[in-house]
Amino acid sequence: MDAREVKRLAASGEQFTVELKGETSAALSDGELVHAVVCLANAEGGTILVGIEDDGEITGARRRHGERTDPSRLAALIAARTQPPVRTEVTVVDVDDVDVVAVTVPAGGRLVGTTDGKYVRRAIGSDGRPECAPMHSAELLAAEIDRGARDFAALDVPEAEFTDLDPLEFDRIRRLVRETEGRGDPSLLELSDFDIAVALGCVSGTRRDPAIRAGALLLFGSEAALAKHIPTHEVAFQALRPDLTAEVNDFFCWPLLRVADELLSRFRARNTQDELQVGLLRVAVPAYPEASLREATMNALVHRDFTKLGSVHVQWYADRVEISNPGGFMPGLDPGNLLVAPPTPRNPLLADAFKRAGLVERTGRGVNLIFGGQARYGRALPDYHRSTREHVTVVIPGGPANLALVRFLTEESEAGRQMGFEQLLVLNELAHERRITTAEAATLLQEDTGSVRGVLNRMVDAGLLEARGERKGRVWMLAPALYEAIGEGSGYVRGRGFDAIQQEQMILQYVEAYGSITRGQAAELCRVKPEQARRVLKRLTERGDLGLVGEKRGARYERSPKL
């Protein structure tokens, strides 16, 4: 933190992550400072600036330790008066001959309070300005769940009894295990209802005196028990016409396994499909890959925040399916790292139960199935960017499949050349966009450029891609054989042609600006090898656009006199 940064923050005024504390009227007490630290730590972290008024005027901070403010002593005081201790970074910054104390607060990995038991959080007040609001008991629990420190499904429900659980739902999980093609846990099949509940971790104690947890009610509870003990639970299925009127608008307060079963049945009833003949093989091409719909929906059911009001919504539009659930992404997750971040379930007990029932991918890479399912049929990838701190929303686009790409992938699979997940995403992107840079591929795959460059080079070696240009100017496009295989042979020609035209125009613009260009400068400008640059310059010279002046190392190209 330096004077320039302090001035910038002061000019911007108080923000969700910036707290201004002036001391012109009275000194800021230690308790008030610790209170502000706890407030930011229980949100996204941020910076407290002591010595700046609410209107952004820099008036200076009072000295806290005799003739100066000792940053290490102030940081130690904050750590000593917070529980768990918050490790802040304290800096005293000279701004126009007055001191400003900057306290940088990290976001809490878990809920933070003062040592005298006060819990506050950053919030937006009714006037639209950030403030520190007290945290009530329900919010304390929700904050612990959001941080992954508590599992709502593992909480005991003292008033619940084993008779609140429906025997039909235990039969359902046994059926799901049998029907889910080896994804489920067969060890559950021979267990009694009570033993299944114990094995899933949602009931503890003895048969005579069982302790029922929230997960038991969510998985196996009767509707009456769910309404009584977990009233926030609700799932909506809506089928919407093009004019957005509802064709179907159903709400369920059923146990999760029953809801999952119902939604899968509705998907299968609505999910139309075409057939593609590949040799002697008939390939079904669904409107939506069932694995994508299943994993996205099960994720919404399992990862929703049950401390918040609101329904899990599954909305079936004419051209897309939208699935949303209350509760934002878990810490460390965002739309930009979903493909590579480790699985972080909000309700681990429910996540494990769905895996053992065979409803979701057991490796925890269900999001990859959602993306891979779309890519395999040449459709646009799922979009999570409408998600907020309060909701996670995924949009799964529909539309016609790229049948030529489906045919190619099927033929490759039949020949024993199965495409990997990363290859699928790259091929699907290039089938839409024709070319991709290494940086764009890194964003697509959510990997670093070094790893992605290796993926792309292996695809070149496999005859799937062709690289054009050098270093940072390198672009990747489908190989000629693959363009032909997907019925887009002219796309390859156009792509190569656009490269040549672009290179010629760049060289002519350079000569217009600087008078001449050498072969080395042309190679650097177009990001190609010198031999490739020589061929471009030769074409321009033969066409009369440029003229060669000088020889050997002194050779350069200028505008032709006729121009």
> What pTM was computed for the model?
0.71
Q: What is the largest CA-CA distance in the chain?
A: 102
Q: What's the whole-number average pLDDT of the chain?
A: 88
Q: Going from the N-terminus, what domains does the chain have, and what CATH number goes with each?
A: 3-135 (3.30.950.30), 152-229 (no CATH), 235-403 (3.30.565.60), 419-487 (1.10.10.10), 496-559 (1.10.10.10)
Nearest to 276 by CA among 397, 376, 404: 404
| Distances from the Cα of 506 to the Cα of 434, 438, 509, angstroms | 21, 21, 5
Which structure tokens are listed for 541?
A: 């010279």
Which structure tokens are listed for 464?
A: 């799937």
Nearest to 384 by CA among 473, 491, 478, 300: 300
Question: What pLDDT sits at residue 82?
Answer: 93
Question: Does the pLDDT value for residue 147 go beyond 70?
Answer: no
Question: What pLDDT sits at residue 527?
Answer: 62
Question: What pLDDT sits at residue 360?
Answer: 86
Question: What pLDDT sits at residue 493?
Answer: 44
Give 370-406 pLDDT, tens digit per residue.
999 999 999 999 999 999 988 999 999 998 898 888 9
Output the 3-class SS for 28-81. Answer: CCHHHHHHHHHHHHCCCCEEEEECECCCCCECCCCCCECCECCHHHHHHHHHHC
Answer for the pair 173, 196: CB distance below 8 angstroms, yes or no. yes
Give 491-513 pLDDT, tens digit per residue.
444 455 555 677 788 888 888 88
Residues 6+ apart with CB under 8 A from 427: 375, 405, 409, 419, 464, 478, 482
Compute the average pLDDT of residues 535-556. Answer: 86
Question: What pLDDT sits at residue 494?
Answer: 47
Question: What pLDDT sits at residue 315?
Answer: 97
Amino acid, res. 28: L
Compute the average pLDDT of residues 342-365. Answer: 87
Compute the average pLDDT of residues 3-16. Answer: 90
Distance CA 470, CA 529 (A): 7
